[in-house]
């Protein structure tokens, strides 16, 4: 017997021909369906996550529209002084800060 010919030429070392593992033709649709199923499952999970996030965001928007702060954020501050007294005190503090900044500028320019 000379050289034996292979009855199935597609089965001859498919990994060497294409550089990847060959899948028998009868299994290709099954693997494609499995891949599609995995992608669909991921899409369904992502949709569920996005729906939950959307619900949480809607609740937060509703609470902000009603003027409420989200839980755990901010604090309530009450003042004993009248608004005019507070404004006067703030103006004094701002004037003091401005004076110190001007003094620092003068010191920096005299040193240079």
Biggest alpha carbon–alpha carbon distance for the chain: 114
- Displacement of CA 29 from its chain's centroid (Å): 36
**Count H helices, E strands: the chain?**
3, 0
SS3 30: helix
Token pair belonging to 81 = 């002084």
pLDDT in 10s for each residue of the chain, 112 residues? 445 555 555 554 544 545 566 666 666 678 888 899 999 999 999 999 999 999 999 998 888 888 765 566 667 778 888 999 999 999 999 999 999 999 999 998 887 6
What predicted TM-score, i.e. pTM, was given to this entire model? Answer: 0.36
């Amino acid at each position: 017997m000379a050289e034996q010919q292979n009855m199935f030429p597609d089965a001859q070392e498919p990994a060497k021909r294409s550089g990847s593992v060959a899948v028998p033709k009868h299994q290709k649709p099954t693997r494609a369906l499995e891949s599609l199923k995995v992608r669909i499952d991921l899409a369904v999970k992502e949709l569920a996550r996005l729906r939950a996030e959307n619900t949480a965001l809607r609740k937060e928007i509703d609470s902000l529209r009603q003027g409420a702060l989200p839980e755990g954020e901010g604090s309530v501050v009450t003042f004993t002084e009248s608004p005019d007294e507070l404004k006067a005190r703030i103006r004094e503090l701002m004037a003091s800060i401005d004076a110190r900044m001007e003094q620092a500028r003068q010191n920096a320019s005299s040193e240079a």
